[in-house]
């Protein structure tokens, strides 16, 4: 194709732009995959159970929220018991204002943690066993604490890619 003005044809610029965008998307996808793999590796170590054998859910409630983890195989008693031990410890640690586990897993201080630590006496954490693992029920009547809990749970939803709704849809 002959160029009369010394500028590349519009079509060539369009193709170059598409290729650059595609390459950027691939790189971002690779970085995201690496981030998830590293987070799961840290999760295996910190939580004490295999992230590939379990499913996390984070739900926002009007008065707090729920962290729930269950084994993917109902016959996997080892994962179920490891989940229960971890969540019992999480309920105890969070009630004391200790959030080392999520900070270690995510390599950062999750949103809401500082306020949850400052308002620890206004937030309740209760472990409950479930058939496949367990859950931690988080409750508060303090509006600032509630916002912090919701911010924390939204971060978990995004990081763990649970597909759970990021807004209050449960009572």
Is residue 11 domain-resident? no
Whether the per-residue pLDDT at 28 is higher than 60: the answer is no
Q: Do the Cβ atoms of 62 and 168 come closer than 8 Å?
A: yes
pLDDT digits (tens, 9 = 90+) for 112-170: 999 999 999 999 999 999 999 999 999 999 999 999 999 999 999 999 899 999 999 86
If residue 78 lies in a helix (H) or strand (E), which one and from where to where? helix 77-95
* 116-125 pLDDT tens trace: 999 999 999 9
* Residue 73 is assigned to a structural domain of this protein: yes
Full-model pTM: 0.78
29 within domain boundaries: no
Helix-, strand-, coil-residue percentages of the chain, each rounded to 5: 55, 20, 25
In a domain, residue 166? The reply is: no
Q: Which of 87, 156, 99 is nearest to 128 (CA)?
A: 87
Examine residue 12 and state whether it is found in any structural domain, yes or no. Answer: no
Domain count within the chain: 1
Inside any domain, residue 36: no
**Domain residue limits at 62:** 44-160
Q: Which range scores top for mean pLDDT: 20-29, 31-40, 102-111, 130-139?
A: 130-139
For residue 80, is it within any domain?
Answer: yes
């Amino acid at each position: 194709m002959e160029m009369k003005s010394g500028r590349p044809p519009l079509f060539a610029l369009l193709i170059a732009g598409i290729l650059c965008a595609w390459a950027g998307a691939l790189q971002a996808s690779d970085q995201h995959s690496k981030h998830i793999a590293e987070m799961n590796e840290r999760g295996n170590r910190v939580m004490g159970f295999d992230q590939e054998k379990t499913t996390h859910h984070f739900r926002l409630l009007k008065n707090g929220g729920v962290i729930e983890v269950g084994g993917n195989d109902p016959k996997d008693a080892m994962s179920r018991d490891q989940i229960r031990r971890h969540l019992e410890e999480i309920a105890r640690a969070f009630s004391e204002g200790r959030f080392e586990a999520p900070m270690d897993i995510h390599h950062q201080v999750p949103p809401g943690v500082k306020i949850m630590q400052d308002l620890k006496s206004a937030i309740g954490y209760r472990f409950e066993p479930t058939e496949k693992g367990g859950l931690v029920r988080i409750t508060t009547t303090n509006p600032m604490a509630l916002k912090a809990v919701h911010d924390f749970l939204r971060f978990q939803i995004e990081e763990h890619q649970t597909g759970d709704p990021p807004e209050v849809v449960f009572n």
